[in-house]
Amino acid sequence: MQHLEFGLMEFNARADRTLWHRESRTLFLSDLHLGKGAHFRQAGIPVPEASEISDLERFVKAITETRATSVWVLGDLFHEPQSITETQMKRWQSTLLSLGTEFKVILGNHDRHAEPFARALGFSVEPEPTRWNGIELAHHPDDGSAFRIAGHIHPQVEFKAASDRLVCPCFAIKDQRLLLLPAFTGFSGGPRYQPRDARCFPIVSDHVLPPTN
Amino acid sequence: MPFEHITSYFENKGFQPFPFQLEAWMRTASGKHQLIQCPTGSGKTLAATGALIDQLLATPNSKGLRLLYVTPLRAMTKDLELALREPLSGTDITVLARNGDTSAKDRASLFRKHPQILMTTPESLSVILSSPKSNELFAQLELIVVDEWHDLMATKRGVQMSLCLQRLLKLSKKTTITGISATLKDPQMALDVLLPKGETGLLTQATIDRVVTLTITESNDDARLPWAGHLGLSLLKPVSQALIKGKTTLLFTNTRNQAEQWYQALSIVRMDLSIALHHGSLASATRQEVETKLKTGEIDCVVATSALDLGVDFQAVEQIVQIGSPRSVSRLIQRAGRASHRPGEGTDVLLVPTNRLHLNEYAALADALDTESLEPIRPPEQCLDVLIQHLVTMALQAPWKPDDMFEEVTQAWAYRHMTRDTFRRLLTVLTKGSDSLKEYPEYRKLEERDDGRFTLVSNQAARRHRMSIGTIVSHAHVRVKMRRGGSLGEVEESFAGRLQPGDVFRFSGKRLEVVRFSDGELIVKPAGSRKASEIPRWTGGRLPLSETLATRVVSDFQRENPLSQRIQNSQWLAQALKETAEIQARISHCPQTGVTIAERFKTRDGYHLCIYPFAGWLVHQALGPLMASRIAKRTPATLTVTVNDYGIELLSPEAGPLDICTEHWSSIVQSKELQQDLEKALNLSELVRRQFRATARISGLIFEGYPGRQKSLRMLQTSAGLLYDVLSQYDPDHVLLMQAKNDVLRDEFDIERLLVVLQSLEQQSVQVKQIMQPSPLALPLVIDRLSSRLSTETIAQRLERMTRSFDAAS
């Protein structure tokens, strides 16, 4: 866990790619992309199912570990709602509905026509942006002036040494007002920031490292 | 009289068929497979096709496709179409060219009205074969000609070609195969790779001897040739004087950057000439324009890279210039062959050394030409990614039974040793996603029907597969676009990634300023003149020195045999070589056969150990890190490794680790435990990750970059890197990961040869000499290391200082 100050609030950046606000027992995450692997497999691209199972397990674990009362998903809850199967929905429902947590979602660009699916999983659908303690919650980043927590970008940070390279997901604060959450799913890429491009909190295996600048 | 019609075509043009052409026709007529070995532009096309054209002329009303002509070069299909139409003019015999550029309308017409002759590329052939109608199309096929086989057979495209051949032989019962290749070291092997298992063929040899002579550009006394360097602009003056208005010159460089720089320099000093630039990164329209002008002789000089190595002859070309070393004997012959020839006339290649060691390479090159020692070709084997693609393509043509399919594909040379077990594993990958026990629910690609045949799951999947057929995967490229206006071409992603807005670089003959790099496009604008500094280089295809040449360079240091007669200014060269050897001997010691020489010296940077196995850059690239990691296993060490074609430099802050290297030489270079040590030594996973992109694309795992992308596919886009990460985390034994790893070991490090090199190093002793300053052999290594660390000015200054000390010593 790494202490992260943003918008006059204190958070913890967690290695499971969630952002934790202890005072209000609220957990933030974005870009879950449920059903992404299955969508690829249907198209003949072999993506092991273990990657999605691991995503879902991490999601449950984050909630039980923090005993969060409220969970915000900032967009792209699903990857491609049109290809969601009944079996998948049942599996997700049985996992999520028993957690007894309040789920809120702001729909992202992948969540087209996803409202019924989100509701069926126990999520309330909130507008973009939603004000929360003086901070805007949204899926998309913007060029505005208010503090905003957003997803969509899937930020990563790249470290380079002579012939070696390390790329890892990160929390990134840009221009002191925009906090970009890492993609929660392990099956996603994203733009690579150089350590000086933003205030990046790299996630390296089980740790969140101190910010890069 | 046999071949009456084609002979009279020759007579009307005032020619006689060459004996090898007659021989080839006879072999085709009697239904024999053959490989015609023949330099470009000596009538190879008519040698291969003459017998069939004669037959077509004899029966002008015959229907059906009779001749299939496959060439690796898309641009060549059009030229060949025109060339073959000529003898057929005035008849109703139709010739059709089909390649990736063919419009959808023309594509459909192929099946409606079968031409008698079809010209195509391996990829387009594969697309044609994916159509259920192709069995009708090829039913009457009599002859398949595979052009530039020497080029195809070395790559996965050749593997794809040979898989397609097996199907063609099945569709048409009486087809013969004719391969055409440049001169090869082992033509029998090339023929074996071309033909299905168990078939035999004949070698047809064109005995058109073209004498290649070499002239080396001599440096003036006031500008000594540098000891290290890649650009060679110090010889701009003599080279520019060799260019003559109205006498078309092809000037070959080895890298795109070199081409850009020479183009720029020559354009300034020879404003009276029309000079053009041609390299693989330029937009294809620009390249085609240059090629057209070359054919008609409208251009005085073209500065080109290997992108112009292959292809049809440019009749107008009269002079060949090579900047630096051609790096392989085959490439020199290939490039020399681009000039036009009158019978009995030779070609002279003007060689322009960019550093002194190139002179040694030139001498080695001439020797190798004398003894016809060409580089061997090692065709790829068991490419599972290509096979996966082909299996899906074949399922599109007609659902297949596994036993039949196994029989068919193992006829192809690359799969002749494939076991039923491997084939079964591939089937599992295609139907279940993986051959491991890992779960891939909902996976759909091929499915087994009730009758035991395999077929594609949906029309959508079929469409997607057709769009992604092919095996050429370029390295990640980024399009360069003007902010206002069109596209200029492509540069390597790794180069584009290093650029910042405002940086200036040279491309397509222009000075460009980076505006931004976004969405896979590098947006640029013309650079103002006040922006002075340029980003110096991007790699643009580095050519490794062939093993044939690298080993011969050793003997140049202690040359007893006289230089080859084909070197025009051999006296001058002999003197220059002697000087180099003398300076090397004075500062250090000279390479000799049977021993590995090494040098040790100390500089501000630390302790240096330079070892010279002369095994070429690919091998050294693996050998260097391998040695370093084996040293580090014995003692804690931080070693910096630099390699080039001649040797390896190990740099250490302390002397200790280097002592270990020479004291425990035989275990540092042992051939045992090669693969496992190599995996530890190299950041293999990063390299495999990069290679996986090609594997994933060939086997149809990712879809990217085809025109008019459908919206529904956007949700399916992912990078190969990401797929690699997921697979290696959750299914590390996946067949395709293994394929990518084998490709890396083979292509990037030449592991087979590395093993041979290690075996010979083990046998030899190492002779270490303590020296006071870097020797001529060590200097290029030192410079290469510096260039990756320091700014260019500093290198230039350092270089100058070091060179001065050599010249003072000489």
Query: What class does CATH assign to B212-370?
Result: alpha beta
What is the per-residue pLDDT for B787? 54
CB-based contact, A134 to chain B, within 8 Å: no
Q: Pick from A34-38, A161-165, B615-619 the range whose average pLDDT is largest.
A: A34-38
- A162 confidence band (pLDDT: 50, 70, 90): very low
What mean pLDDT is predicted for residues A43-71?
A: 92
Query: What class does CATH assign to A2-208?
Result: alpha beta
The 10s digit of each residue's pLDDT in B172-184 is 988 999 999 988 8
**Of B240, B250, B238, B236, nearest in space to B299 by CA:** B250
Q: Domain limits of chain B? A: 4-205, 212-370, 384-471+683-748, 477-526, 588-682+750-809
Percentage, residues of chain B above pLDDT 70? 87
What is the per-residue pLDDT for B503? 75
Provide the shortest C-alpha distance from residue A180 to chain B (in Å): 19
In B253-360, beta strands by DSSP E: 275-278, 301-304, 317-323, 347-352
**Of B552, B504, B495, nearest in space to B529 by CA:** B504
Mutation target vs A (from B463, B715, B787, B790; most A CBs, 10 A cutoff):
B715
The 10s digit of each residue's pLDDT in A87-125 is 899 999 999 998 989 999 999 999 999 999 999 999 999
Rounded Cα–Cα distance for residues B671 and B758 (Å): 5
What is the per-residue pLDDT for B275? 93
The 10s digit of each residue's pLDDT in B250-272 is 999 988 888 888 999 999 999 99
CB contact under 8 A, A47 and B442: no
Q: Pick from B238-247, B408-417, B620-629 the range whose average pLDDT is largest.
A: B408-417
Q: Which of A46, A79, A85 is opposite residue B715, by nearest beta carbon?
A: A79
Provide the shortest C-alpha distance from residue A43 to chain B (in Å): 6
What is the per-residue pLDDT for B70? 95
What is the per-residue pLDDT for B709? 44
Phi and psi at residue B774, in whole multiples of 5°? -60, 135
Rounded Cα–Cα distance for residues B341 and B304 (Å): 20
What is the per-residue pLDDT for B477? 63
The 10s digit of each residue's pLDDT in B53-81 is 999 999 888 889 999 999 987 767 777 88
Q: Which pair of tokens denotes residue B242?
A: 């060799």
Check whether B693 has a pLDDT greater than 50: yes
Chain B residues near residue A50 by CB distance under 8 angstroms: 438-439, 730-731
Q: Which of A44, A110, A162 is opposite residue B444, by nearest beta carbon?
A: A44
Q: Which residue of A has its CA nearest to B721?
A: A189
Check whether A76 has a pLDDT greater than 70: yes
Chain A residues near residue B464 by CB distance under 8 angstroms: 43-44
The 10s digit of each residue's pLDDT in B319-358 is 999 999 998 888 898 888 877 666 567 788 999 998 888 9
What is the per-residue pLDDT for B608? 94
Taking the CA atoms of residue A16, residue A19, residue A23 and residue A26 in that order, the dihedral angle to the nearest 10 degrees is -90
The neighbouring-strand residues paired with B251 are: B303, B321
Provide the shortest C-alpha distance from residue B682 to chain A (in Å): 10
What mean pLDDT is predicted for residues A48-56?
A: 90
What are B's interface residues with A at a Cβ cutoff of 8 A? 429, 433-434, 438-445, 457, 461, 464, 640, 683, 686, 700-702, 715-716, 718-719, 721-723, 726-727, 729-731, 734, 788
Chain A residues near residue B461 by CB distance under 8 angstroms: 43-44
Provide the shortest C-alpha distance from residue B719 to chain A (in Å): 7
Provide the shortest C-alpha distance from residue A23 to chain B (in Å): 36
Q: Which residue of B has its CA nearest to A54?
A: B730
**Of B442, B439, B471, nearest in space to B457 by CA:** B442
What mean pLDDT is predicted for residues B416-442?
A: 90
Using DSSP's 3-state secondary structure scheme, residue A21 falls into: strand
Check whether B127 has a pLDDT greater than 80: yes
The 10s digit of each residue's pLDDT in B547-606 is 888 888 888 888 888 899 999 999 999 999 998 999 999 999 999 888 999 999 998 888
Check whether B711 has a pLDDT greater than 50: no
8 Å CB contact between B529 and B332: no
| ipTM for this model | 0.82
What is the per-residue pLDDT for B376? 87
Pick from A165-169, B14-18, B114-118, B677-681: least confident? A165-169
Name the amino acid, one letter, at B11: E
Q: Which pair of tokens denotes residue B395?
A: 């399922």
Chain A residues near residue B718 by CB distance under 8 angstroms: 40, 45, 187, 189
What mean pLDDT is predicted for residues A32-36?
A: 93
Check whether B715 has a pLDDT greater than 80: no
Q: Domain limits of chain A? A: 2-208
What is the per-residue pLDDT for B716? 63
One-character DSSP codes across B276-293:
EEE-TTB-HHHHHHHHHH
Q: Which of B439, B640, B716 is opposite residue A43, by nearest beta carbon?
A: B716
Provide the shortest C-alpha distance from residue B760 to chain A (in Å): 29
Check whether B223 has a pLDDT greater than 90: no
The 10s digit of each residue's pLDDT in B637-659 is 778 888 888 999 998 888 999 99
Q: What is the pTM for the complete model shown?
A: 0.81
Pick from A167-181, B201-215, B612-626, B680-694: least confident? B680-694
Mean pLDDT for chain B? 84
- B470 confidence band (pLDDT: 50, 70, 90): confident
Q: Which pair of tokens denotes residue A96?
A: 């999520």
Residues of chain A numbered 84-123 and touching chain B (CB < 8 Å)? 85, 110
8 Å CB contact between B632 and B625: no
CB contact under 8 A, A46 and B734: yes
Q: Which of A49, A162, A187 is opposite residue B440, by nearest beta carbon?
A: A49
What is the distance between the terminal CA atoms of chain B, rounded to a whole angstrom? 71
Q: Which of A48, A164, A165 is opposite residue B726, by nearest beta carbon?
A: A48
Q: Which pair of tokens denotes residue B376?
A: 């061997």
Pick from B22-26, B511-515, B663-667: least confident? B511-515
Using DSSP's 3-state secondary structure scheme, residue A70 falls into: strand
CA angle B588, B590, B596 (to 5 degrees): 105
Rounded Cα–Cα distance for residues A19 and A25 (Å): 11
Rounded Cα–Cα distance for residues B742 and A72 (Å): 45
* Range B4-205: architecture per CATH: 3-Layer(aba) Sandwich (3.40)
Rounded Cα–Cα distance for residues B153 and B174 (Å): 24
Check whether B530 has a pLDDT greater than 70: no
CB contact under 8 A, B461 and A43: yes
Check whether B379 has a pLDDT greater than 90: yes
**Of B238, B282, B234, B233, nearest in space to B256 by CA:** B282
Check whether B498 has a pLDDT greater than 70: no
What is the per-residue pLDDT for B497? 61
Q: Pick from B149-163, B530-544, B549-563, B746-760 the range whose average pLDDT is largest.
A: B149-163
CB contact under 8 A, B443 and A39: no
8 Å CB contact between B721 and B687: no
Check whether B810 has a pLDDT greater than 50: no
CB contact under 8 A, B444 and A47: no
CB contact under 8 A, A51 and B722: no
Provide the shortest C-alpha distance from residue A22 to chain B (in Å): 32
Please list the alpha-helical segments (H only) found in A82-178.
86-96, 115-120
Using DSSP's 3-state secondary structure scheme, residue B665 falls into: helix
Chain A residues near residue B722 by CB distance under 8 angstroms: 187-189
CB contact under 8 A, A43 and B444: yes
What is the per-residue pLDDT for B492? 66
Chain B residues near residue A163 by CB distance under 8 angstroms: 683
CB-based contact, A49 to chain B, within 8 Å: yes
**Of B612, B642, B629, B626, nearest in space to B769 by CA:** B612
CB contact under 8 A, A51 and B726: yes
Check whether B465 has a pLDDT greater than 80: yes
What mean pLDDT is predicted for residues B268-292?
A: 85
Residues of chain A numbered 167-206 and touching chain B (CB < 8 Å)? 186-189
The three-state DSSP-derived secondary structure of B71-102 is CCCHHHHHHHHHHHHHHHCCCCCCEEEECCCC
What is the per-residue pLDDT for B32? 96
Chain A residues near residue B729 by CB distance under 8 angstroms: 51, 186
CB-based contact, A162 to chain B, within 8 Å: yes
Q: Which residue of A has its CA nearest to B640?
A: A162
Q: Which residue of B has its CA nearest to A46?
A: B433
The 10s digit of each residue's pLDDT in B78-115 is 778 888 888 998 888 999 988 776 777 777 789 999 99
